[in-house]
Structure 1
Amino acid sequence: MSTKFDIEKFDGKISFAIWRVQMLAVLTQNGLKKVLSGKSAKPATTTEEQWEETDEKALSTIQLCLSREVLREVINEKTAAGIWSKLESLYMTKSLANKLRLKERLFTLRMSEGTPIQSHLGEFNSIIIDLENLDVEIDDEDKAVLLIVSLPPSYRHFKEIMLYGNNVTLSFDDVKSNLLSKEKFDTQIHSESSGEGLVVRGRNHEVGASGKNQSKSKGKNSKYCRYCKKRNHEISECYKLKNKQNREDKGKQPEKSAEASFVETESDGECFIASGTEQRSKNEWVLDSGCTFHMSPNRDWFTTYESFNGGLVLMGNDAQCKVVGKGTIKIKTHDGVVRTLTSVRHVPDLKRNLISLGTLESQGCRYSAEGGVLKVSKGALVLLKAIRSGSLYLLQGSPDIGLVFDRQKSDPGGVVGYVDADYSGDLDRRRSLSAYIFKLCGSAISWYLSLQAIAALSTTEAEYIVVTEGVKEAIWLRGLVAELGLQQQILVMFCDREITVEKIHTTENPADMLTKPLPAAKFDHCLDLAAKIPFYLYPFLDTTSESRPFEYLRLTSLGVIGALVKADDTQVIRVLLPTRIIQRCLRAMQIGSELSKTVATFILRRCLLDDVGLRYICTTPELVFAVVQVLGNMVGALAAQPSSSLLKHIIRCYLRLSNNPRACDVVRILPPDILRDTTFSSRLSEDRVTKKWLQQLLHNVDGNRRI
């Protein structure tokens, strides 16, 4: 007699610990568990042929319980013991990264409204089990507190009773049992209070042989028009109503038009788009539950782009719109965070920008609508928010467009210059204006406009003078871009009719601050312009490329901002904090070179040392956790590649965070173990200040532990 055991396939997303227990149970029931220990566990009474047959059965059983994605990673394993060891090494590695990932999931886990308690407890317990398998022990009271904190606002009274009641101790099992009892009680109350509902009998529309909609209902079968009050026809067939509508619409363009679209793509699915009736701007994003892919008609919004033939979009009037490419688009959402949409289809003739809710759901997101507001969330974090307008949900956000250096096909090969001269533009002294501008990958990098030193006697002489100045600048720029790794053999310059030369009046020229004395009002205006200089550097900090040219730009930008925060001015910190400078520094600390990491950590340290910066970071739990996690990853990397200056900044950041009670709790939960051992003893022995900071940090973390 054979028994079938059905377990969920392991896809890398569900708990490996739970799947591992279930898989061991299946192998045990089938008598195959012993082969997981390898040939060393083969009984003496078992022949080689019997052992190989048992091993093949166990191997096939494990393979059938893996998803395609996970199976690709272990497809080369030929024995059950090999594939089992490979899976454990991939998903049960006791590394710092795995511990931080699971702790992040545990501390940021939030239960959504309407979720059954049993489902939430299952997710919570799976994380706890995974942490215990990594030798991470969490106190029973801490587990109880984390479970209570993860409950939604509807459990406010329950949370207050459990946290602030007269309980001497708080037990995890007590909290679980109380939650289950509360859910059972609420279910009983709801079922007792619910009455009978109204039963509505509607009409059933069927398509007859003529292809028209016919209506069936009980009662009389005769047709009746509610417009002309006559029988034998319905309102949709009333000729009087049609004649009236034709007279009203004659000679007028319809203000509103309904559309329906059918999209064919290279995928196996089909995309149906239902758009509203009002003409809206192309800058709005519509969240659509029936759209298979994200789509946009705006080419300029794509930060990465790939041309390809993606099929046709058939509009409601049988017009065909072609999908010409795909890429990524960055959107600044309602909370100011810039999020990236991937695999966005470019449809130039599309009238709206569409966000596919189905695509977001396949990526682990959830969406719900209530009170005219649609929210897309992942865990406890709300990613997108949309407001209902008519029958559509319009995204609260806008595309994040900045300075983009993109190599265009029309560029001759790098730096391109444009020069021109305005003959005798200065009517007083009859001198000409010289002007040039140089562009790299479509963006301006150098420009110049000034009166010529001598009075040119002809337009030809004026053009030669400006060309000479332009060539000198082009030669210098060629050497500059060569240092950045962009080699260019031929210099291209366009002369005349490519740019317009115009002299800026001194009241509108911010460069006058550096060349001449100014009145107070004009000087303040120039200072306001200069204060915005760091904002022009942010596009270089937002890049994720680790190539040498981008690393030079990233390091230079960090150096400018580092010089600003070094002045120890609270006003500078106040200006930089709302511009997400902390998040940008964290990105540089993850992907930058050692020097970029050092400068970025120094900026973070200066922000933390300021009381305003410390309050700003500690106000948001997600930001505190992100800072501590990045610092922990850097400490782990320093064990292999030590850096005294970087270690000094990191320890000072930790020490400053430990001065805040909320941040100290996070530092206590995620302590880098190598800071406690003798890994950095040799380096800290030479730096007494840093060693003292480390001792104070450990005292704050261990000495202030709550009892």
Structure 2
Amino acid sequence: MAKDDTSGSSQKPVNTLHPAYSVTNVQTKIRTLDGTKVTYSSWIKLFKLHATAYKVSSHIDGTKAPESTANDYAEWKEIDALVLQWIWIYSTISDDILVRVLATNSTARDAWVKLEKIYLSNKKSRAAALETKFCNLTLAACSSLDDYCEKLKHLANQLEDVDHPVIDSHLVLQLIRGLPPEYDSTTSIINQTADVTWDLATSMLKEELIRQEARQNHSSTVLITSATPQPHSQTPAPNTSPTNNQTPNYYSQRGRGRGQGRTNRGGRGRGGCRDSSQQSTAYQNQ
């Protein structure tokens, strides 16, 4: 009886799940596009990076979709819906932008092209407006040094979106232009440093801010300490002035003499206490 040889027989390949199905919360990987804090260019870079990793780049780069009669069309359509809807594009753009992109029977590629038109159309006018904001921004108009640096960087990124990139040296120059006189010593060092980068310049300014805050805290502590009253080293002398209960009675002191105890006889003794009317009458008689 012949022995079955199955070692060389071909086996049916097992269908593996597409990587796109493993994405559960893409917002942790791609930040929400709002055009301000997260610019279009930053969003594009992150989106393309993850689209390549999850093998869905063909749904946004203009690759032709399979025919509706093809065997793989149903799977392509399902993955395209994942890329377009809650998993990718629609979940990573702000509500204001979503209203402009959302459409019936749209594909991921259609939404991708609409986003390009929103951010890349009218480049000259948008560049002029952004350049004005970039040149006029100062630290005084911001809530903190970190906020000032962040806004400058966002404006530079937005200018890059409209084909007006800001080189690093220009960005550093604008950074120190908008600073108050308190940073003059640090800005002088930055100007004298050759090929200073944005990261180095911002680090130097933040270190200067820490020193300024430390000096202010020290000055406040010294002022508070000097204004605090110090206890006296010597014990104050006791108050020897008589109180109301200790006021000496002139007449009672004199009444301790020979006339003491004669008040029942009309006060003829020398120490007898007379009322004010009797004293006044006796004086007038004299």
TM bin (shorter chain): 0.5 to 0.7
Aligned to 2:176, what secondary structure does the other structure show?
A: helix
Pair 82,178 (structure 1): closer, same or farther in 2 beyond 3 Å: same
- Map residues 365-514 of structure 1 onto 2, 5 A cutoff: none
- Map residues 188-587 of structure 1 onto 2, 5 A cutoff: none
Pair 190,49 (structure 1): closer, same or farther in 2 beyond 3 Å: farther
**Higher gyration radius (CA):** 2
> CA offset at residue 140 of structure 1?
3.6
Partners of 1:2 and 1:137 in 2: CA distance: 33
> CA offset at residue 23 of structure 1?
3.5
For the pair 1:118 / 2:146, whether they are aligned, the reply is yes
Residue from 3, 9, 20 that aligns with 2:44: 20
Pair 193,21 (structure 1): closer, same or farther in 2 beyond 3 Å: farther
Q: Which has a greater percent of helix?
A: 2
For the pair 1:53 / 2:81, whether they are aligned, the reply is no
Question: Over residues 119-174 of structure 1, what are the superposed CA-to-partner deviations in whole Å (9 max), with x where a residue is unaligned?
Answer: 332222222222233332444432221111122454344334434xx445555444
Partners of 1:46 and 1:121 in 2: CA distance: 53
For the pair 1:62 / 2:89, whether they are aligned, the reply is yes
Q: Indicate the percent of aligned positions where both proteins have the same amino acid.
A: 21
Aligned to 1:37, what secondary structure does the other structure show?
A: coil
Amino acid at match of 2:40: F
For the pair 1:73 / 2:100, whether they are aligned, the reply is yes
2:203 counterpart residue number:
177
Partners of 2:215 and 2:50 in 1: CA distance: 41
Residue from 105, 110, 120 that aligns with 1:82: 110
> CA offset at residue 66 of structure 1?
2.5
1:38 counterpart residue number:
62
Aligned length: 191
Q: Is the 8 A contact 1:113 1:154 kept in 2?
A: no
Partners of 2:102 and 2:23 in 1: CA distance: 28
Pair 67,113 (structure 1): closer, same or farther in 2 beyond 3 Å: closer
With the length of structure 1 as denominator, give the TM-score of the two structures.
0.24
Partners of 1:56 and 1:24 in 2: CA distance: 17
Question: Over residues 228-260 of structure 1, what are the superposed CA-to-partner deviations in whole Å (9 max), with x where a residue is unaligned?
Answer: xxxxxxxxxxxxxxxxxxxxxxxxxxxxxxxxx
Amino acid at match of 1:74: V
Amino acid at match of 2:207: S
Partners of 1:98 and 1:88 in 2: CA distance: 14
Structure with higher RCO (Cα < 8 A, 6+ apart)? 2
Q: Which has a greater percent of strand?
A: 1
Question: Over residues 38-79 of structure 1, what are the superposed CA-to-partner deviations in whole Å (9 max), with x where a residue is unaligned?
Answer: 34277xx98111111111111112112233322221222601
Aligned to 1:38, what secondary structure does the other structure show?
A: coil
Aligned to 1:40, what secondary structure does the other structure show?
A: coil
Aligned to 2:127, what secondary structure does the other structure show?
A: helix
> CA offset at residue 99 of structure 1?
1.4
Amino acid at match of 1:75: L
Question: Over residues 94-130 of structure 1, what are the superposed CA-to-partner deviations in whole Å (9 max), with x where a residue is unaligned?
Answer: 6211211221121112223774433332222222222
Partners of 2:141 and 2:179 in 1: CA distance: 9
Q: Is the 8 A contact 2:81 2:107 kept in 1?
A: yes
Partners of 1:114 and 1:107 in 2: CA distance: 14
Q: Is the 8 A contact 2:31 2:92 kept in 1?
A: yes
With the length of structure 2 as denominator, give the TM-score of the two structures.
0.54
For the pair 1:10 / 2:33, whether they are aligned, the reply is yes
Q: Is the 8 A contact 1:63 1:71 kept in 2?
A: yes
Amino acid at match of 2:170: D
Partners of 2:138 and 2:44 in 1: CA distance: 26
Partners of 2:217 and 2:46 in 1: CA distance: 35
Pair 145,74 (structure 1): closer, same or farther in 2 beyond 3 Å: same
Unmatched segments (≥5 aa) in structure 2: 1-21, 222-286
Partners of 1:174 and 1:12 in 2: CA distance: 26
Amino acid at match of 1:36: I
Aligned to 1:76, what secondary structure does the other structure show?
A: coil
Amino acid at match of 2:174: L
Partners of 1:100 and 1:17 in 2: CA distance: 18
Aligned to 2:139, what secondary structure does the other structure show?
A: coil
Q: Is the 8 A contact 1:18 1:126 kept in 2?
A: no
Unmatched segments (≥5 aa) in structure 1: 196-707
Aligned to 2:76, what secondary structure does the other structure show?
A: helix
For the pair 1:129 / 2:162, whether they are aligned, the reply is no
Pair 173,12 (structure 1): closer, same or farther in 2 beyond 3 Å: closer
Amino acid at match of 2:60: L
Pair 194,84 (structure 1): closer, same or farther in 2 beyond 3 Å: farther
2:7 counterpart residue number:
none
Pair 75,126 (structure 1): closer, same or farther in 2 beyond 3 Å: same
Pair 46,32 (structure 1): closer, same or farther in 2 beyond 3 Å: farther
1:634 counterpart residue number:
none
